[in-house]
Amino acid sequence: MELRTSLRQTAAARWKHAFTPYLFVLPAMIVIFAFIIYPLIMVFRESMLKDSLLSAMGAQFVGLDNYRELLHYPNMGTIAGHSVIWMGLGTGFTLLGGLLVGLLLSNDWPLNRLLRGVIMIPWVLPVVVSATVFRWMLNSESGIINRFLQVIGIIGKGIPWLGVPSLAMLSVVLVIVWRLVPLASMIVLGAVQAISKNYYEAASIDGASSWKQFWHITLPFLRSSLVYIFLINLIWITNNIVLILVMTNGGPNSSTETVATFVYRLAFDSFNFGLSNALGVVNALFTLLITGIYLIVFRKSWLVR
């Protein structure tokens, strides 16, 4: 009898031990399921429906037909190419810019105290405001950037930065980089300030140059931060539509039309929610793939050791 009671108590304790942690995370799991997992499932489900709001037939299950239709949709290949350029240049320049600015701000220069606060302004401004202001600034007729270049004699006539396909993408990329570099640089700054000065003192005593100190001390300590900066910016940039819609509306010649802006157009211009969701799923999977590759390539930087 005592043995049985003891066994029962042990089993109960084991169950309690095993399940208590799950009880603590249960509220968070419910929230994640309700607001993230469930919508994702719904998006995936909708992507397999022929769901045009204008169709009298209502939503019909069509399997992977929407995905097949995407392959033959006008300009889809070009749009995907633009997305890769937008994502690649935007993320790459943000990473480099954030690293450079973060390192500069980490110096104990008097002006840096002011700059560390001021530099966050582009990040704090609403995207739509930044986009509108840059659209004006880049205008070939009345934009201050063209006027400045004319005054210092670099150009004669104003350049339509947002009106020429080859320049429009570069222009919107530079604006998104301008907006995202501040946060990236703050993350780098925080990581640099966390590195113990002892490493640098020891390296100096051993005669290591500034470049070697950066390469062998600073950069290894920054790797996990850089992975984070890369991932978060990749996702933000890939899914950013406001900047492009306000600055160029996807033009000229669809040269700044990306997958994300096209997801929006399919849904709200064409009312074709099935196709829009299918493209959204493809976009998410592509982002996930890039993220996965990046994490695997740079696994040494972030894996728990």
Partner 1 sequence: MRRISILTVMTILVLSMVLAACGSNSSKDSGTSPNSGSTTEQPKQAGSSGDKTKLTVWKFGGTPAELDFYKQKVGEFNSQSKDVAVEWTNLPFQGKREKIIGAYKTNSLPDVVVLDAQSIPDFTGLGVIQALDDADKASADKWKGNFVPEIWDAVHYNNKLYGVPFFADVAPMLTLNTKILKDAGYVDGSGNVLPPKNWDEVIAYAKKMTTSDHYGMILPATNNLNDINMFEGLMYGNGGSWLTADEKQVGIDNPGVLDTLKFYKDLKASASISPGFAESNYLDAVTQFLQGKGAMILTMTWVGAIEKQVTKEKSVDYVVVPFPKRSTISGTLPPVGSLISPTTTIMMTKTTKHSKQAMAFIDFWTNPDNQKCFADGTCPGRIPALKASFDNPAFQKNNPEIYKAYKDGTLFKGAIHMPWFTGLTEMEPLLANAYQSVLQGKQSPEEALKQLSDQSKKVFK
Residue choice 128, 144, 202, 293 for contact with partner 1 (CB under 8 A): 128
For 238, how many CA atoms within 13 A lie in the half-sphere containing its CB? 22
User: Does 83 interact with partner 1 (rule: CB under 8 A)?
Assistant: no
Residue choice 70, 89, 105, 131 for contact with partner 1 (CB under 8 A): 131
Q: How far apart are CA 18 and CA 92, in angstroms?
A: 44
Q: Considering beta carbons, is residue 106 or 287 the nearer one to partner 1?
A: 287
User: Does 223 interact with partner 1 (rule: CB under 8 A)?
Assistant: no
User: Does 245 interact with partner 1 (rule: CB under 8 A)?
Assistant: yes
User: Does 206 interact with partner 1 (rule: CB under 8 A)?
Assistant: no
Residue 292's contacts (CB-CB under 8 Å, 6 or more residues apart) are none
272 — phi, psi (to 5°)? Answer: -95, 85
Selection from 51, 13, 38 nearest residue 276 by Cα = 51
User: Does 163 interact with partner 1 (rule: CB under 8 A)?
Assistant: yes
User: Does 296 interact with partner 1 (rule: CB under 8 A)?
Assistant: yes
| Token pair 């037939």 in the structure block, residue | 57
Residue choice 288, 293, 297, 300 for contact with partner 1 (CB under 8 A): 288
Binding part of the chain for partner 1, among 1-9, 158-166, 192-200, 204-212 by CB under 8 A, reads 158-166
User: Does 63 interact with partner 1 (rule: CB under 8 A)?
Assistant: no
Residue 252 CB, nearest approach to partner 1 (Å): 4
Name the strand (E) or helix (H) holding 30. helix 2-32
User: Does 81 interact with partner 1 (rule: CB under 8 A)?
Assistant: no
**Interface of this chain with partner 1, residues 10 to 39, rule: CB under 8 A:** 32, 36, 39
Euclidean distance between the first and final Cα of the chain, in Å?
A: 48
| Amino acid at the residue 222 | L
Torsion of CA 29, 34, 40, 42, to 10 degrees: 140
